Structure 1
Amino acid sequence: MPFEYSPLSTERREIRLLDLEPSFDQNGPLELRIHSTTLDEVSEYTCLSYVWGEPGPTKAIRLNEQQFLVRQNLFTALLYLRLPDKTRRLWIDAVCINQNDIRERENQVSIMQHIYQKATDVIAWTGEADHPRDKKGVAFLEEIKLQTGYTQLGFPVGMMSDKADLTPGTLGWLKSVTPFGFVNSPWLDLLAILERPWFSRIWIVQEVVMGKTVTVWCGHHRIEWFDFLYCALFVLGHVDILTGIAAPDCLRYHDLHAHLYFQSDLPLYRLIEAAKKIRCVGQLALRQLLDRHMELVIGDDLQLWEENFKKHNAGFEVEIWGEMTLDPPDLRLCYSSAGIKPNQIKSGP
């Protein structure tokens, strides 16, 4: 028998939240309570960003003491999200929205930007870390930060520009981890994480841009979104160096643009493409941040900031269409649901 939802009030901007009950048994039954509240009254909660996955076999959870079926990826995420000694409050689209009520779905999508903006934080679940490569990829991401002098002062260094000179020490390290042909390179371990389906989702644009803080979960590993963004900027700022170190001569001097199928399977090419997607979301996040805090900057300071931003992001609208592999109408729909106005994604003059 399908779970019976109580209707939500559109006028009061009601949403549903979940309380994930604690358990010391990591594999014990999942017990959740669901209740309604308004966006004006709600306090702390976490939004879950994840890939729904294939509709294949489902798993049972207990929702208000009734059986409720969810897909495998969400079931696994809930096991990791559950705390041993206290309740965790969540907003999860597949459960908090009555998926059988088209009108409710449309209404909830229309206020999605506010749901993410009001959330205390966003957890991006990318899947389990059940392969040795996953642990190595996370460790290499930390090594990149350490070896390249990463400093986070609100944003990663180089946020407005991905170009930066390398010190001799950093260049030496880069050569040591970038073997000829990318054979057995730690970059491949990181690439295995960056190519997880979550990083290519349409809704990542909304969920990352609107969230106050975003933490990417890879099994038990926790990585700040800005760490991925910094890594992407580092890769894109030093493509020529990476290519010069890793690419065999036969690939370096041939016109690979005439062989796109072959090119797309190269590890270095795939790394660059993954980095571009992350950078695009980061650029959009900066545009939103500028819009939110514009009233805090006045006069010439504001004009200088805008000019600098536009300079480094010219052609952004066209670029993000390509990098996120979206048709313009699909991207517009995603922007619209995120509350992003068309004039906020226009390229600079």
Structure 2
Amino acid sequence: MMSLSNVGTYIYKPLSGERDFRLINLLQGAGDDPISLTISHASLDSNPAYEALSYVWGPQHPAQIVQCNDSYLGIGENLAVALRCLRKPNVPQVLWVDRLAINQENNAERTRQVGLMADIYSSASAVVVWLGPADHFTDTAFGLLDKVYTQVQEIWNSQKISKAARINPEVYATVYPPSEDSRWLAIRSLLTRPWFSRAWTFQEIVLARNAHLYCGAHTRNWQRLEFFLTCLNTFQEGPNIEDGRLKDAGKHVNDILKARQMFLRPETFKTLEKEDFLSLFSLLDSIRARIATDPRDKVFALLNVTCDVKDTDLRADYDKSHAEVYAMTAKWLLRRTKSLAFLSFVEKKDTPDLISWVPDFRYKDIMKILLGPQKPKLSRRSRYSSSLYAGYMLGPSLIRPSHQATC
């Protein structure tokens, strides 16, 4: 174990160019070998080769000490476990890791780097999704993903299905285990890992050109999970179609799949459908239940994947408090949509740290979802007037369309 008294803390050098960022050179090692890495500067404009890590931060204390250049850095346990598992035994590995690549003590730098994250994740050769250590379900879950993927490949090959037709779920005539099969518990365990419920991981995987899942030493291409869930969504098994074999376990990942399809195959969706799902209003609603360590990230984590925020004045700013961020977001929604629909997000506040009319994006009231009307659809065809908030309180019959969307 490295003694903190023997080495100095790593000091970040300022990034000079507007599109400069830092890359992590994870040095080779195995088992309990100390984690060693170096940090260097690069520019996105030079197209460097690297993989981007997507993971759950978790507790940062007590810190795990890693060797960094000629100094040290303290990182959280989750990241330390991931780096030990992901590093190669014989050769270094180039990664982008937010905790290490961004000076977390410099708010101005955090703000600038968050603005680059869309390019960072979409430019990576692959996004490495660290789900955590393996457990007794991992082998079984990955085995079922493999089985479905193999079936689909065999169908494609035997029927000579074109690449264009392969995105059509109707061609996936796959066979799944019966509802009582224990393998469904393994899939449920996989889909309820914390990674799937975090705010930042939505953006990180949606923007990925290619991605790999890691559970301990087990790894699969992300595409296998997509195939499994896409096929499952069209699976029919007589009267058992509503048997709830996964219940709500796939909610978070199904949002990811839909958004990824809209980014990767936009031609397969109608414009209004994309605008409805990827507008900031809709994402704030559908992704609101996700977890973020920093409450400001409930907004900032969505800005790079929305269809209507780009080239506007709504940007990440870590010099602002969460109350200021939520207020500026509410004002932006009002200006952008010309509607008071955002008031439907306002719920009873446990702490008086926000203006009464500002939604608290830290929480989502489950009972409100069950008892209240459906969220408004914000599209060019419909918009909601100030009667929406009253309509929410007094009944959906008061809701009337008024303004046009500008998404």
TM range (shorter): 0.7 to 0.9
Percent identity between the two aligned chains: 26
Q: 102, 110, 116: which one pairs with 1:97? A: 102
Tell whether the 8 Å contact from 2:275 to 2:307 is kept in structure 1 after alignment: no
Code of the residue aligned with 1:201 in structure 2: it is R
Which structure has the higher relative contact order (CA within 8 Å, separation 6+)? 1
Tell whether the 8 Å contact from 1:133 to 1:189 is kept in structure 2 after alignment: yes
Mapping of residues 20-99 of structure 1, within 5 Å: 20-23=26-29, 25-99=30-104
TM-score by length of 2: 0.64
| Equivalent residue number for residue 17 of structure 1 | 23
| Equivalent residue number for residue 334 of structure 1 | 301
Mapping of residues 176-215 of structure 1, within 5 Å: 177-179=177-179, 182=180, 185-215=182-212
Q: Return the offset for 1:315.
A: 5.4
Distance 1:312 1:273 in 2: 23
- Structure 1 residue runs of 5 or longer lacking an equivalent are 248-266, 292-304
Code of the residue aligned with 1:19 in structure 2: it is N
Closer, same or farther: CA 319–246 of 1 in aligned 2, 3 Å: same
Number of residue equivalences: 297
Closer, same or farther: CA 346–205 of 1 in aligned 2, 3 Å: farther
- Structure 2 residue runs of 5 or longer lacking an equivalent are 1-7, 291-295, 311-376, 382-407
Distance 2:79 2:305 in 1: 26
Closer, same or farther: CA 165–226 of 1 in aligned 2, 3 Å: closer
Instruction: Judge which range, 43-52 or 227-236, deviates more.
Output: 227-236
Mapping of residues 1-349 of structure 1, within 5 Å: 2-9=9-16, 11-23=17-29, 25-129=30-134, 131-147=135-151, 151=156, 159=167, 162=169, 164=170, 170=174, 173-174=175-176, 177-179=177-179, 182=180, 185-238=182-235, 241=237, 244=240, 247=243, 268=245, 271-290=246-265, 305=267, 309=270, 316-317=277-278, 324-326=287-289, 333-336=300-303, 338=304, 340-342=306-308
Q: Return the offset for 1:332.
A: 5.5
Distance 2:87 2:188 in 1: 28
Higher-Rg member (1/2): 2
Per-residue CA distance 1:82-121 (angstroms, 9 max, x = gap): 1111110111000110101111111110111111122221
Which secondary structure does the structure 2 equivalent of 1:132 belong to?
Answer: coil
Per-residue CA distance 1:201-247 (angstroms, 9 max, x = gap): 22222211222211111111112222112222222223x63871784
Q: Return the offset for 1:166.
A: 7.6
Q: Return the offset for 1:309.
A: 4.6
Distance 2:108 2:81 in 1: 29
Tell whether the 8 Å contact from 1:310 to 1:347 is kept in structure 2 after alignment: no
Instruction: Judge which range, 279-288 or 47-56, deviates more.
Output: 279-288
Which secondary structure does the structure 2 equivalent of 1:126 belong to?
Answer: strand
Code of the residue aligned with 2:24 in structure 1: it is L
Which secondary structure does the structure 2 equivalent of 1:136 belong to?
Answer: helix
Which secondary structure does the structure 1 equivalent of 2:237 belong to?
Answer: helix
Q: Return the offset for 1:65.
A: 2.5
Per-residue CA distance 1:110-142 (angstroms, 9 max, x = gap): 11111112222110111111x221111111111
Q: Return the offset for 1:157.
A: 6.9
TM-score by length of 1: 0.73
Tell whether the 8 Å contact from 1:59 to 1:71 is kept in structure 2 after alignment: yes
Closer, same or farther: CA 347–279 of 1 in aligned 2, 3 Å: farther
Closer, same or farther: CA 35–143 of 1 in aligned 2, 3 Å: same
Code of the residue aligned with 2:277 in structure 1: it is F
Code of the residue aligned with 1:279 in structure 2: it is N
Q: Return the offset for 1:150.
A: 6.4
CA RMSD, 1 decimal = 3.4
Q: Return the offset for 1:59.
A: 1.1
Closer, same or farther: CA 313–142 of 1 in aligned 2, 3 Å: farther
Tell whether the 8 Å contact from 2:213 to 2:221 is kept in structure 1 after alignment: yes
Which secondary structure does the structure 2 equivalent of 1:288 belong to?
Answer: helix
Per-residue CA distance 1:281-336 (angstroms, 9 max, x = gap): 22222222346xxxxxxxxxxxxx45x55598795358765653449x97663332
Closer, same or farther: CA 34–283 of 1 in aligned 2, 3 Å: same
Which structure is higher in helix share? 1
Closer, same or farther: CA 165–111 of 1 in aligned 2, 3 Å: closer
